[in-house]
Structure 1
Amino acid sequence: MKITNVSAMEILDSRGNPTVRAYVTIDNKITGSASVPSGASTGIHEALELRDGDDKRYCGKGVQKAIANIHQRIAPQLVGMNPFNQREIDMAMLELDGSKNKEQLGANAILGVSMATAVAAAKACNLPLYKYLGGVGAFRLPVPMMNILNGGEHADNSVDLQEFMVMPIGAPSFSEALRYGAETFHALKKILKKKNYATSVGDEGGFAPNLKSNDEACELILEAITQAGYTPGKDISLALDSAASSFYKDGSYDMHWSGTGKKTTDEMIALYQDWMEKYHIISIEDGLDENDWDGFNKLTAAIGKKVQIVGDDLFVTNKEFVQKGIEQSSANAVLIKLNQIGTVTETVETIQLCRKAGWNYIISHRSGETSDTFMADLCVAMGGGQIKTGSACRSERIAKYNRLLEIERELTSAALFC
């Protein structure tokens, strides 16, 4: 089989901004499509998302240049290639781009085509995407890291930290874990209403009230877990995405809403040590600034045996940064985002590096999402056992959860959840 056509169109993401949807057709008339997400809190080393910069159209956020690159440059290169040679196709696009961060073609253009190729190939094999990508070992369902309270860059409120998540670690299956999380989400809504806090939601579906402190956010979630009928630390634990780079200024962490003012790296580590015990926190993502490598080394040495220390902006799904982190023991887990690196192949290579080092890896959405469910299948294919895909509301988040429910149903007794 050969690729016969590659095309794309401009669609809108969950924030109402343009993004790329790509299509790859092979010679048996099967077409695969994929839509590319977009982040708000982005690492400085991420692959470049190509935008038009025309202020008269979509406030400069149009992606017609990326679309044109797919039609005029990528398509002629890929037509005639074997769709099952994913790595060869991805490497051809990287060579065509020629830059370190995909700034010539745009990571959004390259990734859209890369994902659509995999979807088309899976269809041609009459396989679900997770089986095509993961083979016979694709049977592990993930523990959801459900974002139920938003702050930072994902909400216009008084909370410094970006995401407060619940992890249903005591659930016996994915479907039950999803129920645990959803029930806690609804319990939290009732608590917020009772306290006269707003129940509007942020970019990823978590509630975004103005709270008295970051501590109060954790306290409210623990109360919600209990009211939902679960035991904190046994049935459900907490996870944080601090996105600390967003409040790192002039050499210190300005957590102005915490009531304690600016903090040094050592003071932030001490804060996490206190919260870890007090709030049943088992995972901390981007707890320090993306360039604070020494700080990450200290944080991991201090609590890494008890807590999952996750690098997102620190690593940007790039195996070069992950290798540096492994050598320095800067973390013990990596957040995996397809659009941070820009191809399916490079994403898988980073995951393979994590496996080799014995590190955890978490497949993650972005704050600007679409209804595309590629990442849900990728999560099962790669078997990492954890997924971040937002709250128990907003259809672009629920689409991923519902896809995982479908996969669990399809796998029946073969499904593994742990």
Structure 2
Amino acid sequence: MEADADGRLRQETEEAAEYYRGHRVPQRMEEALNALFPLRPADLYGDLANYLSKFSKAPVIHRLAGRKVLDGVGQPTLEVEIYCTVKNCEKRICSAIISSHYQIHENALSETTEADEKERNDSVSTAVEWVNESLNTMLRDLKPTDQCEIDKMLGEFFSKKVEENKEIQKEEEEGTLSLTSCAPPAVACSKQKKEAKTGKKSSTERTVPPAEPNESVLCGSLAIGGTSLAIAKAGASIKHIPLYLHIALLKRSQDSPEEMTLPLPMVSLLSCEKFAKLKLVKEVMLIPPVQLSLKQGIERALDIQKEMMRLLEPAGKGPCPPLADSKKGRAHKKEKKASPPALKRVSHLGCLTMGCDNLEQPLLLMQTACNNIGLALGTDMYLAINCAAHEVMDYVKGKYEILTGTFRSADEMVDVYVELVNKFPSIIAIVDPLRKEDRQQWNSMCCALGSKCYLIAEDAATNISKLKTNINNIPMCSGVVLKYVNQTKVSDLIELSGLLDGQGHVTILGSPDGESPDASLVDLAAGLGARFIKLGGPSRGERATKYNRLLAIEEELAKNRTLRYEANFEFTDFAEESQPETQRPEVLPPPQEDSLRARSAPGEQHADLGCPK
């Protein structure tokens, strides 16, 4: 009898659903349901609602909303909100804030700062206009789960805007051509006089490959990247899955991964001021060993940071212990000379800021802090340095200014890094050791150090959309830092990371200078299977948010038993795989089995690191 009653109930429910499916009469529906189930428990309505929801239309985009918001350093950037039609009702699904590509120059001239601020404001205002008008109309009624289709439309829209901008520039140039042609070439003459005066310097400059011109960023391009990221977040929300899993499914063509690895954080603890004597090193970072959980690694980095703050206390507030020195007897002899300067402030990168006098000083400070809390660099924690070498190139001399008044050619820079890694074997990653134009020196450096550490290109990968069509544009290296800015789309990031994986490159997701409080970068890195994530320091809210998100993902994967840890760091021995100079490929070949190298404990480190003369 009960089975027959359940069968009749199911049949009546399906008939009611079939009848009311095409009729928008919620009041009559409620009356009918009350008549059908007068004696049923209240939770039956919830079960029925879940059943009927299967027959509802899939959510579609109802509208986009763009607005100007502030990033982590108080500069304007773009936020994109997604509203979808869900069960015939408009509902706010999510929002995404995209980071700005603008670099922060702490000692820039006021004129330069004002120009950057005006350009940034114009770009954000144009992006807001694009989102609220053109993109809002273009993407209406599309499914937010169709990421590839929407990204393709965004790319076509951006291409049209680029062509329109070129036409406008061409008309402006033609309009001013008659005026400029009549003016005397005073600037050209002055340049010729300067070149004549420099003499030998001009001949030296010709031997240095000139810097590639900076790629212009189209005003309003933030709208493309912000909208694509918001669509990805909306698709994950509608599927009721985390964003990192949604990205992983998109990369694997909806093939759900059985296990996932998380990127190791590059934790910036020290930022070296460019106006100090040391010019070459921009950041000193810590990388936890793979054997630790991310929670343990970040906690260990925070302990080192606390000890560094104690070491950098200003005079009068506490003792300042001498820096570590591996050569016995030297620590006392050079205690005054090696004492670090007082702490000034926390950088916009979220790490401590100090001026250094030589290459070894920040590294010895790290070593001292680790030794004081019972940790050993090279086993308990590893080092990485961001050199940003393109920022210290003197194009008049054709050399890098590594210290104030100390210059080295591109070939000599290779020797500097070889000596540095030999004296500090705990360094397992160097970011931007050379300009991207010094391709021959990148090759030499990879052959000399590729089996000992990662040699990473960051400046060469600024335009992801263009890089995925010409990946040979990057020099020979171990890995690439990718940043989600401007017109970058989620599909571009997925496609490029797949190309890098196929060629043996290590993928690193990196935060720009003007970071936003949106933590989606961590989900992107986890979903793409990036090896590292470069988030800056943990001392600013917009960066601490991302570290917290990374820990939350680790906890979730561990709870689901889908978290997998890598066995060890993997380096590539370029010397074994290299070809003759005339036939050497510019793209890194896939790593071989015998190129996997376990990191050994560091030997004794030497003080007074010098530069080859």
TM-score normalized with structure 2 length: 0.62
Matches within 5 A, 1:123-142: 123-135=237-249, 136-137=256-257, 139-142=260-263
- C-alpha displacement of 1:323: 7.5
Task: Specify which of 97, 122, 128 is matched with residue 158 of structure 2.
Answer: 97
| Counterpart Cα distance in 1 of 2:433 and 2:116 | 37
Partner of 2:286 in structure 1? 166
Task: Specify which of 148, 161, 164 is matched with residue 269 of structure 2.
Answer: 148
Letter in 1 for 2:402: M
Residue 73 of structure 2 is aligned to residue 15 of structure 1: yes
Structure 2: tracts of 5 or more residues without a match: 1-58, 105-111, 164-214, 250-255, 314-319, 321-339, 567-613
Task: Specify which of 408, 411, 415 is matched with residue 563 of structure 2.
Answer: 415
Partner of 1:32 in structure 2? 94
> Per the alignment, in what secondary structure is the counterpart of residue 383 of structure 2?
strand
The 8 Å contact of residues 273 and 303 in structure 1, kept in 2 or not, is answered as yes
Distance 1:65 1:351, change over 3 A: same
- C-alpha displacement of 1:234: 0.9
> What RMSD in Å do the two structures reach over aligned CA positions?
2.6
- C-alpha displacement of 1:338: 1.1
Distance 1:128 1:221, change over 3 A: same
> Per the alignment, in what secondary structure is the counterpart of residue 312 of structure 2?
helix
TM-score normalized with structure 1 length: 0.89
> Per the alignment, in what secondary structure is the counterpart of residue 496 of structure 2?
helix
- C-alpha displacement of 1:113: 0.5
Residue 363 of structure 2 is aligned to residue 249 of structure 1: no
Distance 1:324 1:277, change over 3 A: farther
Matches within 5 A, 1:171-190: 171-190=291-310
Matches within 5 A, 1:215-226: 215-226=360-371
Distance 1:375 1:97, change over 3 A: same
Residue 492 of structure 2 is aligned to residue 350 of structure 1: no
Distance 1:211 1:176, change over 3 A: same
Whichever of the two has the greater Rg, that structure is: 2
> Per the alignment, in what secondary structure is the counterpart of residue 459 of structure 2?
coil
- C-alpha displacement of 1:157: 4.8
What CA deviation, in whole Å up to 9, does each residue of 1:195-216 have, x standing for no partner? 5511511111121112222321
Letter in 2 for 1:388: K
| Counterpart Cα distance in 1 of 2:278 and 2:113 | 33
Letter in 1 for 2:298: L
Task: Specify which of 339, 351, 358 is matched with residue 206 of structure 1.
Answer: 351
Q: Percent identity?
A: 25
What CA deviation, in whole Å up to 9, does each residue of 1:269-305 have, x standing for no partner? 1111111122221111111113222222222222122
Letter in 2 for 1:151: C
| Counterpart Cα distance in 2 of 1:310 and 1:64 | 34
The 8 Å contact of residues 94 and 102 in structure 1, kept in 2 or not, is answered as no
Partner of 1:50 in structure 2? none
Distance 1:249 1:381, change over 3 A: same
| Counterpart Cα distance in 1 of 2:486 and 2:137 | 25
Partner of 1:83 in structure 2? 144
Task: Specify which of 534, 538, 555 is matched with residue 392 of structure 1.
Answer: 538
Letter in 1 for 2:410: T
Residue 375 of structure 2 is aligned to residue 230 of structure 1: yes
- C-alpha displacement of 1:38: 2.1
> Per the alignment, in what secondary structure is the counterpart of residue 271 of structure 1?
helix
Partner of 2:429 in structure 1? 283
Matches within 5 A, 1:292-331: 292-316=438-462, 318=464, 321=467, 330-331=476-477
Distance 1:363 1:317, change over 3 A: farther
| Counterpart Cα distance in 1 of 2:466 and 2:242 | 31
Matches within 5 A, 1:262-273: 262-273=407-418
| Counterpart Cα distance in 2 of 1:197 and 1:41 | 26
| Counterpart Cα distance in 1 of 2:469 and 2:218 | 26
| Counterpart Cα distance in 1 of 2:541 and 2:70 | 14
| Counterpart Cα distance in 1 of 2:469 and 2:444 | 18
- C-alpha displacement of 1:83: 1.0
Distance 1:88 1:217, change over 3 A: same
Partner of 1:107 in structure 2? 221
| Counterpart Cα distance in 2 of 1:102 and 1:244 | 21
| Counterpart Cα distance in 1 of 2:245 and 2:102 | 31
Letter in 1 for 2:511: H
What CA deviation, in whole Å up to 9, does each residue of 1:318-375 have, x standing for no partner? 3754776669861120111111661111111110111111211111111111211001
Size of the aligned set, in residue pairs, is 404
- C-alpha displacement of 1:94: 1.4
| Counterpart Cα distance in 1 of 2:474 and 2:247 | 31
Partner of 1:61 in structure 2? 120
Partner of 2:33 in structure 1? none
Larger RCO (CA within 8 A; separation ≥ 6) = 1
Distance 1:10 1:113, change over 3 A: same
- C-alpha displacement of 1:221: 1.3
- C-alpha displacement of 1:241: 1.2
| Counterpart Cα distance in 2 of 1:217 and 1:103 | 35
Distance 1:40 1:417, change over 3 A: farther
Distance 1:106 1:267, change over 3 A: same
The 8 Å contact of residues 170 and 234 in structure 1, kept in 2 or not, is answered as no
> Per the alignment, in what secondary structure is the counterpart of residue 145 of structure 1?
strand
Letter in 1 for 2:400: Y
Structure 1: tracts of 5 or more residues without a match: 43-52
Tell which deviates more after alignment, 308-317 or 241-250.
308-317
> Per the alignment, in what secondary structure is the counterpart of residue 480 of structure 2?
strand
| Counterpart Cα distance in 1 of 2:463 and 2:119 | 27
- C-alpha displacement of 1:315: 2.4
Letter in 1 for 2:352: F
The 8 Å contact of residues 248 and 528 in structure 2, kept in 1 or not, is answered as yes
| Counterpart Cα distance in 2 of 1:200 and 1:328 | 35
